Structure 1
Amino acid sequence: MDCDSKTFTYIWEVNLDEFDRVSNLYSPPFSSWNGSVEEPWQLQFYPHGKMSIASSCLALFIVHRKLHHVEMDYTLMLINQKDENETLSVDKHSTFENSEDGFGPGPCIDDDRLDSPPSEGIYDPDRGFLVDGKIKIGVRIPTDPIPIKRKVDNMVSFTWDLSLDRYKAVPNEEDLLSPKFQTINNGEKNTWQIQVYPNGVVPELEGFLSLFLVHRGKDAITTQFEISLVNQDPTKSYRYTMEDTFSHDLNGWGEREVIGRRYLTNNTGFVFGDNVRFEVRIPLDDVSINKLEKEQAIVPFVWEVPLADMTSPTGEYLLSPKFMTWNSDESDTWQIQLFPNGIKSEKKQFVAAYLVHRGVKKVDTSFSLFISNQNEENTETVTMENVKFKYDLHGWGANAMVKRSDLEDPEKGFLFDGKKIKIGVQLATDHIPLKKTDSVMVPYTWEVKVEDLKLGTGKYLLSPNITTWNGQNKETWQVQLYPNGLSTEDNKQVSLFIAHRGDNEVTSRWSVSVVNKDPKKTESRTGTNLFGYDLQGWGSRTFIQGSKLRDESEGFIFDGKVKIGVELPSDNITLSIDNECPVIKEAPACEKCPAVVDSPVTKATPAGNPYDSPRPSPAGNPYGSPRPSPAPINASLHNLYRELKLKTPDGSEFSINHIMSFESIEKLISNLMRLSGSSSNYQPSISSYKHID
């Protein structure tokens, strides 16, 4: 292999004795450089020729292994191993647009055979092209110098897996930042992040991925680094090697136009599970790379369990209050699962305990589970490293944590105040503190009859009002269910959202579930989001397949009903339900309960993986960052009220419990005033009344 600052020659030696019956061969991958951009290539060779190529030409092609535009001059060669002057070559010019098509063919010889191994034509050993059963073929291509100017022995890597659904939701000119990671250079700690613009860093690059490494901190630093969009086939990864000076906080270097976002699919190898993978390699001193997540605070959660509550029979369990940890801006919800009398009969003399993850998202973590003892040295602890929680209520722990008899014996030290035990877990969390949520997360279940699910696409049901308390402020919520999807683009999925009622802004945790008879199969979404206006909602357009929901064998139907579970925070006041029917209805008698309401016309967001992190309901930019559910149900409802409390000029108060227009309200009040003896000449107007709600 020869190279200088302008051209690069790659020679491939092919042993035909090993490939005598093979019709199509690929060379090992090799690279050229376009500035700091690495361009990967392979040669493709058909020893026995190709039908579309004349037998007098060598069926040799060069293939570019990236999905972007490259226009290039190059030379394909067949090396004469006995006389270099007899080497054959052909100059080409081609435009490469994708990672599959090859360009060629190689050199041609009139009235000769270049497709007839093992001994005819150019394969005649006397001609010098074939020596010891081997031929040499190659390519000469232009290249810039390899950009790394000095050797760095101690390069380490940081990998970031980004949810594909989250990636697709980001509009042009908006970015995502990876978790922070650190290196030590000359004794100084440096903090970094990967910065991704999924839909282009500037308007003219909309539709392309932009990728940068950014430095966090005010001090300038000069360093080499390599940043990559990773492919399952390493030869197809996009790698950019640079040496630059990072001069200020969030100063970044990288590539503005990496790849068209349409190519990030399973078929192209850029998707790992449900994620897109990015990698940074960067030099550091003799200290291993240090993800900040590994420096997270290890915060304990302790659950006090009265001995009187530990009466469950073998195989039945108690669940602790829920608590949360944070990884960057994503939260995880956990519970401790306690089997007071063992998980199985053969272990019934032991207390079993597990840490369980709530939600369908897969999570890798390490933790310590413990049962406290008044003598700390006797605390029973189980520590597990790098375990994977795969589904809702999946747990790890011990089926024989401590003997039940030891737990009850005051002399053993496990009882506190003579009547309760303390069981806890230690987990890593980011700067947002581990917090107990069960004292404020209050459950509500909405049961929907199966026959009420027979609605067309774009039509939805609203649950009864759900009331929670935020300090002294009452908050009202509803569940919004589209049994056949918000739009035709949702592919007959069920769309489900939790919506806030009222014009005030509220930031709240929430959880919405479609309950299954088998808790492991319950479909759930959770999140913490800002609700900014009336009927703004969060949830998922693709919550669950409609056919799966309606199939009784799948376990989502309970006595002809589907159960929708909701959990919302409420400050020490029991969550309340205003009525047993949806609040938007034609009459208070609920003849048509639940109501069916046509949705507004909205532009659909792309359908996503129903098992991914919570996706907002639609409105506006289809590729936008999290967006709310549709605007208010119907424009005509802006001047309709289900219950309007009014005060007349004489101070009388009364409520109107029908949905009525303002005009109808005025007529009603006028008639009431006549009946009460007031002047028949009085003409009420809406401005005459105080709206108490």
Structure 2
Amino acid sequence: MSSNISSTTLKSWRERSPSSFALKVEILSELQSSTLYSDGKYKSSRFSSGGYDWRMIIYPEGNDKDNGSGFISMYVEIDSTSLVSTQQSEVHADLRFFIFNKKENKYFTIQDVESKRFNTLRTVCGLPQVLALDTFNNPKNGYIFDGDHCEFGVDVIVAPPPTKWEILSFGERLPYPKFSWIVKNFSKINENPHISNSFSMGGKNWVVKLYPKGYSTHNNKWLSIFLFLEDGEILKEDEKVYVEADLKVKDPLGSNHLSYELNWWLEKAGTGLGWDHYVSSADLRKTYLDKEDTLKVEIVFKVVSTTKYSSFT
């Protein structure tokens, strides 16, 4: 049996009694004498917590083998048969130990902020230095009361295994990161929006929507451009997709393309990522439509996040 003394233990006072198990000792001196014949320790009866059976172990005069000399030492032991019956290879639990103080009418409480791991090879965990014996044994301090009474306790909080995993990835390679769209006879387009063919990127199907008359009636002197998930592409509950891309309206006479960087989370199907005021209608006609009234739009994707889900039952 061993337990490293940790600087991460937390000490406090609590009015509420232990929720997992309590041991009330009516004659402490008899308990101390009895442990001379049980390797210095007292094992409690079994109690259940988190679907497993446990025992509390107390060294009323300290566990010398675990650097507990001069202290009350307290541990819990998992019943290994309950591990077998639940088919779990190991159990993680948070442990909180208590010693009642009648003077304060509260419980002195100590816990390790790190969970303890129990398995068939390590069935006992705890704290060797719970409370100094000099403090505990002095009746004036309130831990020994009504003659020779005292009370110990423990909370064993079992951490359940995860029921669901979410794996979010930003690094999947995009084999064909570019989407190009040639829009012919742009000035004759009547529909608003004008929608591209669908294309696949990052495991999702997308469309680009052009609003030649603006996204709203207040912006009819602007071209609006948005990236949408294709109709029918459904996001799972709470799923969201991060997109990082460069969206360009190309200059037909050279390389002075109009480019904006898109980086945003798409959190709901039916909403788009883009710009209401991408370029004014006047600048569009002047610079970005060629002689055949053709507009060229291009998106180069850098990142499209993907999310995988796994459930455990």
Q: TM-score range by the shorter chain?
A: 0.5 to 0.7
* Post-superposition CA distance 1:380-417 (Å, at most 9, x none): 112122x22223332111111111122223xx2x1234
Match for 1:353: what amino acid?
I
The structural deviation recorded for 1:236 is 5.3
Equivalent residue number for residue 294 of structure 2: 420
CA contact (8 A) 1:78 1:138 kept: no
CA contact (8 A) 1:10 1:138 kept: no
Following superposition, the deviation at residue 373 of structure 1 comes to 0.8
The CA deviation at 1:364 is: 1.5
- Change over 3 Å in CA distance of 1:311–1:73 after alignment to 2: same
1:334 pairs with 2:206? yes
Q: Answer yes or no: is 1:318 the counterpart of 2:302.
A: no
Q: Give the partner amino acid of 1:8.
A: S
Any residues of structure 2 matched to 1:536-555 within 5 Å, and which?
none
- Distance in 1 (CA, whole Å) between partners of 2:107 and 2:177 is 73
TM superposition shift of 1:309: 3.8
Which structure's relative contact order is higher, taking Cα pairs within 8 Å and 6+ residues apart? Answer: 2
| 1:93/1:399 CA distance change after superposition, 3 Å | closer
Aligned-partner SS, 2:22: coil
Give, in whole Å, the separation in 1 of the partners of 2:213 and 2:75.
Answer: 80
Secondary structure of residue in 2 paired with 1:128: helix
1:300 equivalenced with 2:178 (yes/no): yes
Unmatched 5+ stretches in structure 1:
1-5, 25-45, 62-66, 107-113, 140-234, 238-262, 266-270, 280-289, 431-611, 614-622, 624-693
Is 1:128 equivalent to 2:135 in the alignment? yes
Shift of 1:75: 4.7
Root-mean-square deviation over aligned CA pairs: 5.2
Provide the residue aligned with 2:218 in structure 1: 346
Q: Distance in 2 between matches of 1:300 and 1:307?
A: 22
Would you say the 8 A contact 2:71–2:133 is kept in 1? no
User: What amino acid sits opposite 2:3 in the alignment?
Assistant: F
Which residue does 2:12 correspond to in 1? 15
Structure 1 counterpart of 2:35: none
TM-superposed CA distance for 1:76, in Å, is: 4.3
The 5 A counterparts of 1:161-200 are none
Letter in 1 for 2:234: V
Structure 2 match to 1:94? 78
Give the match's secondary structure for 1:356.
Answer: strand
Query: Which residue of structure 2 lines up, in the alignment, with residue 366 of structure 1?
Result: 244
> What is the deviation of 1:368?
1.6
In percent, how many aligned pairs have the same letter?
12
1:411-432 Cα offsets, whole Å, 9 max, x none, are x2x12342211122112489xx
Report if the CA contact (8 A) 1:94-1:103 is conserved: no
Q: 1:515 maps to which residue? A: none
Residues paired across the two proteins, number: 231
Letter in structure 1 aligned against 2:250: S
Cα distance in structure 2, aligned partners of 1:86 and 1:120: 24
Q: Which amino acid aligns with 2:190?
A: T
SS in 1 for 2:301: strand
Query: Is contact 1:325-1:333 (8 Å) kept?
Result: yes
CA distance in 2 between partners of 1:317 and 1:122 (Å): 69
Answering whether residue 22 of structure 2 is matched by residue 53 of structure 1, we say yes
**Is this contact kept in 2: 1:325–1:428, CA < 8 A?**
no
Q: Quick check: 1:369–1:426 contact (8 Å CA) kept in 2?
A: yes
2:272 match: 395
Question: Are 2:100 and 1:115 aligned?
Answer: yes
> Which residues of structure 2 form unaligned runs of 5+?
29-43, 45-49, 63-67, 109-131, 144-151
Contact 1:9 1:138 in 2 (8 A): no
* Superposed CA offset, 1:335-364 (max 9, x none): 001110111233211100011112122322
Q: TM-score, normalised by structure 2?
A: 0.55
Distance 2:291 2:246 in 1: 24
Shift of 1:319: 0.8
Deviations 1:319-347 (CA, angstroms, capped at 9, x unpaired): 11111124xxxx21010011101112332
Give deviations 1:221-273, integer Å, cap 9, x for gaps. Answer: xxxxxxxxxxxxxx959xxxxxxxxxxxxxxxxxxxxxxxxx543xxxxx3xx
